[in-house]
Amino acid sequence: LAQLFRPLDLLGMVYRTIRQGAIDMGSMFELIDTPAEVVDAPDATPLLVTRGHVRFEGVRFGYDEDRPILDGLDLDVPAGTTCAVVGASGAGKSTLARLLYRFYDVNEGRITIDGQPVAAVTQASLRAAIGIVPQDTVLFNDTIGYNIAYGREGASDAEVARAAQGAAIAPFIERQPDGYDTRVGERGLKLSGGEKQRVAIARTLVKNPPILILDEATSALDSRTEADILETLESVERGRTTIVIAHRLSTVIHADQIVVLDAGRVAERGTHAELLRRGGLYAGMWARQAREREEALAAE
What residue ranges bind ligand ATP (CB under 6 A)? 31-32, 63, 69, 87, 89-95, 247
Nearer to ligand ATP by C-beta: 18 or 31?
31
Nearer to ligand ATP by C-beta: 166 or 264?
264
How far is 160 from 162, CA to CA, in rounded Å? Answer: 5
Q: How far is the CB of 249 from ligand ATP (least distance, A)?
A: 12
Nearer to ligand ATP by C-beta: 85 or 202?
85
By residue count, the chain amounts to 300
Nearer to ligand ATP by C-beta: 159 or 262?
262
How far is 276 from 242, CA to CA, in rounded Å? Answer: 22
Nearer to ligand ATP by C-beta: 77 or 144?
77
Q: How far is the CB of 91 from ligand ATP (least distance, A)?
A: 4
Quick one: CA dihedral 72, 218, 233, 249, positive or negative?
positive
Q: How far is the CB of 161 from ligand ATP (least distance, A)?
A: 34
How far is 64 from 59, CA to CA, in rounded Å? Answer: 15
H or E stretch including 259? strand 257-262
Q: How far is the CB of 110 from ligand ATP (least distance, A)?
A: 19
Q: How far is the CB of 89 from ligand ATP (least distance, A)?
A: 3
Nearer to ligand ATP by C-beta: 85 or 148?
85
Q: How far is the CB of 202 from ligand ATP (least distance, A)?
A: 24
298 by Cβ neighbours in 10 Å (0-12 / 13-18 / 19+) ranks as exposed
Angle, alpha carbons 291-247-12 (nearest 5°): 140
User: What's the order of all strands across the beta sheet hosting 54-61?
Assistant: 70-77, 54-61, 108-113, 116-117
Q: How far is the CB of 229 from ligand ATP (least distance, A)?
A: 19
Nearer to ligand ATP by C-beta: 63 or 284?
63
Q: How does DSSP classify residue 36?
A: P
224-230, long-range: CB < 8 A, 24+ apart: 225/192, 225/193, 225/194, 226/194, 226/251, 228/168, 228/194, 229/194, 229/197, 229/198, 229/201
| Helix axis angle, 157-166 to 193-207, nearest 10° | 130
Q: How far is the CB of 189 from ligand ATP (least distance, A)?
A: 29
Nearer to ligand ATP by C-beta: 77 or 91?
91
CA distances from 132 to 216, 240, 259 (A): 10, 12, 19
- C-alpha 16: how far from chain center: 18
